[in-house]
């Protein structure tokens, strides 16, 4: 039994939730999102909550049950509060700046890296060495953060590169004479 799947997803005030067949539509103060629940999971509105249950006792149905509940809960958090990921840039001359719909990043290459910011995502650079990614879709925010980090992942000797703000970089000792 899924411990997460058993709990219904509460619908807070200010959020309108609609369940049409297998589609869950949510509209809140930050925006609107929708999710198509897999066919292995039954979804229904109960009072001020969205209830999900597996249609069968198969391994796939139980897996989809917990995953679907977690996705619906993330959608609920997204339309009410939104999501944020912070990246830190470490290295001499490494910096970032937002220019219109693009993010210009200098990461020690012979050229600046230009990243096109997707729709529904806001990118800010409070300091040249910090990037803040915000949006209502948790998956999209995480994907954008991962793509930006992939341009120059942190290396273990000096820690140079782009890392998540809460990430720990395992450091290695350099060569000895």
CATH for 13:
3.90.930.12
As a whole number, the mean pLDDT across the chain is: 92
Residues 60 and 116 in one domain: no
Q: What percent of the chain has pLDDT over 70?
A: 99
Region of residue 91 (phi > 0: left; psi between -120 and 50: alpha; otherwise: beta): left
Sort strands 23-27 and 16-20 into parallel, antiparallel or unpaired.
antiparallel
Residues 55 and 87 in one domain: no
pLDDT band at 148 (very low <50, low <70, confident <90, very high): very high
- 149-162: pLDDT as tens digits: 999 999 999 989 99
- 108-119: pLDDT as tens digits: 999 999 999 999
Phi, psi of 168 (to 5 degrees): -100, 130
Residues 56 and 108 in one domain: no
Sort strands 83-90 and 161-164 into parallel, antiparallel or unpaired.
antiparallel
Residues 158 and 113 in one domain: yes
Instruction: Check pLDDT > 80 for residue 41.
Output: yes
Instruction: Check pLDDT > 70 for residue 1.
Output: no
Q: Which domain holds residue 57?
A: 3-80
pLDDT band at 177 (very low <50, low <70, confident <90, very high): confident
Q: Please give the full DSSP string across 78-130, using - where no structure is assigned.
A: HHHT-EEEEEEEESTT-EEEEETTEEEEE-SSSS-EEEEPPTTEEEE-SSTTE
Instruction: Check pLDDT > 70 for residue 121.
Output: yes
User: In DSSP terms, which residues pair with 115 in a beta bridge?
Assistant: 103
CB 25 within 8 A of CB 18: yes
- List Cβ neighbours of 8 (8 Å cut-off, separation of 6 or more): 46, 49, 50, 51, 52
Residue 145 resides in a domain: yes
Residues 42 and 96 in one domain: no
Domain count of the fold of the chain: 2
Residue 174 resides in a domain: no
Virtual CA dihedral for 119, 149, 152, 175, nearest 10 degrees? 180
- 58-84: pLDDT as tens digits: 999 989 999 999 999 999 999 999 999
Mean pLDDT (whole number) for 132-157? 94
């Amino acid at each position: 039994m899924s411990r997460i799947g058993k709990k219904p997803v509460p619908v807070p005030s200010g959020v309108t939730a609609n369940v049409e067949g297998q589609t869950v539509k949510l509209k809140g103060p930050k925006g609107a999102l929708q999710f198509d629940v897999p066919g292995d999971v039954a979804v229904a509105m109960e009072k001020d909550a969205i209830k999900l249950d597996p249609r069968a006792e198969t391994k796939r149905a139980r897996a989809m049950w917990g995953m679907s509940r977690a996705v619906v809960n993330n959608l609920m958090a997204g339309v009410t509060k939104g999501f944020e990921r912070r990246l830190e840039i470490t290295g001499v001359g490494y910096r970032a700046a937002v220019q219109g719909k693009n993010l210009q990043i200098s990461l020690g290459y012979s050229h600046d890296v230009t990243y096109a910011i997707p729709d529904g995502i806001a990118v800010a650079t409070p300091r040249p060495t910090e990037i803040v990614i915000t949006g209502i879709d948790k998956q999209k925010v995480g994907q954008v953060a991962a793509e930006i980090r992939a341009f120059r992942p942190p290396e273990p000797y000096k820690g140079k590169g782009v890392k998540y703000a809460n990430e720990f970089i395992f450091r290695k000792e350099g060569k000895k004479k």
